[in-house]
Amino acid sequence: MFFTILLVSSVSAAGVTINHSVPTMQAYVTFPLISKSSASSNATVTLTKKNPDTVTFSARAQKTNGTWGDYQAGTVVTKTNVPYNVPYEYNLSAGTLVQARFRNHNWSMNSNQIEGIFDYR
């Protein structure tokens, strides 16, 4: 059994401040839904603290018919203080609902911590 506690210190129209334990094995942690503040085809994530070697982020968007698109291929974050692009399925307009998630990239039983910013752009 494992436990993960979501600790989001702030949420804005454009992003999420990450202060979160990383789940064991490869379970996903999903961020709250956010309405995009500008048009873009990708989000960015920059971690300032990363205890596991690698963390994978992915994102999806709500379609105009109300259904959700698929999460796109994961972006593997290996370094701190470096912005990584996390793609959307297509170029999204401002006001589109989007959601992101992350997981430990490796099959680790360790419960570690990451901190940083996920910018939905």
pLDDT digits (tens, 9 = 90+) for 10-43: 445 468 899 988 776 678 889 989 999 899 999 9
**Sheet holding 112-119: strands in order across?**
8-11, 15-22, 112-119, 40-50, 84-92
Q: Encode 49-92 in three state secondary structure.
A: EECCCCEEEEEEEECCCCCECCCCCCEEECCCCCCEEEEEEEEE
Domain ranges of the chain: 8-119
Q: What is the pTM of this model?
A: 0.83
For the segment 104-119, what is each residue's pLDDT rounded down to a tens digit?
877 766 667 889 999 9
In angstroms, the Cα distances linking 86 to 3, 7, 59, 107, 119 are 26, 21, 7, 22, 9
> Could you tell me which CATH number the domain at 8-119 has?
2.60.120.510
